Amino acid sequence: MAYFMVVLLDDNRMAKLRGTGLEEHIKYMFGGELRLLEVEVNEELKDKILAEFETARVDSRGAITDVPVAFMRELFNQVVEKKSLGPEVVEGVLAKIAEIKEMAAKESEYLPPPEIQE
């Protein structure tokens, strides 16, 4: 089974992606209303993620979900930095595991709510 992680793209992230050459890999879901990128995850990296984060799970599509928000934010940073969607992106994230875990611990207490139009 092929595994992947989804990076959601809002306008802010779209601006950061410009010039990386990854725009052509953007996928659209739900009638084009949702933009995303899929980052490749191999078997070994999948096992590492599941071992490091007890909430992480693989859904029926093969997508790895329920990792901390800090992980997902760093995943996007690594996509931009490495200009890639290959396994080296997740490797880059896992290299910062201690930092991510520290932020994840705080995340279980508080997550800043988004500002939305009332």
Partner 1 sequence: MSGLLIERPLPHGGRLVERVIEDKAVARKIWKSCNAVYEIKPTLHYETGVPVRNVYREIMSICYGFFSPVEGSMKQAEVERVLKERRLLNEWIFPYPLIFDISKDDLNKLGVEPGDRLGLTLKGKPFAILDIEEIYEIDPEELAYKTFGDPETNPEVVQQKFDKKHPGWVIYRSHQPWVLAGKYTIINPPKFKPPFDRFWFPPRKAREEFEKRGWRTVINHQTRNVPHVGHEFLMKCAAFTGDVEPCHGILVNAVIGVKRRGDYPDEAIVEAHEAVNKYGYIKPERHLVSIVLWDMRYGNPLESLLHGIIRQNMGCTHHMFGRDHAAVGEYYDKFATQILWTKGIPSFGFPAPPTDVPYGLKIRPQNMREFSYCPTCKEMAYSETCGHKREKLSGSFLRGMVAEGVQPPSIIMRPEVYKVVVKWWKQFGYPFCNEKYVINKEKELEVDLEDL
Identify the residue whose tokens are 């800043």: 112
Rule CB under 8 A: choose which of 8, 14, 95, 105 binds partner 1.
Answer: 8
DSSP state of 24: G
Part in contact with partner 1 (CB under 8 A); list of ranges 5-13, 16-24, 41-49, 85-93: 5-13
Q: Specify whether the CB–CB gap between 43 and 3 falls below 8 A.
A: yes
CB 7 within 8 A of CB 40: no
- Site pattern 32..71 for partner 1 (x: CB under 8 A): -xx--------------------x-x-xxx-x-xxx-x--
Q: Is 22 a binder of partner 1 (CB under 8 A)?
A: no
β-sheet with 34-41: strand ranges across? 3-9, 34-41, 27-29
Dist. CA 13–CA 24, nearest whole Å = 15
Range in contact with partner 1 (rule: CB under 8 A) among 24-32, 38-46, 86-94, 97-105: 24-32
The one-character DSSP state at 95 is T
User: Footprint of partner 1 on this chain (CB under 8 A)?
Assistant: 6, 8, 10, 29-31, 33-34, 55, 57, 59-61, 63, 65-67, 69, 72-73, 108-114, 116, 118
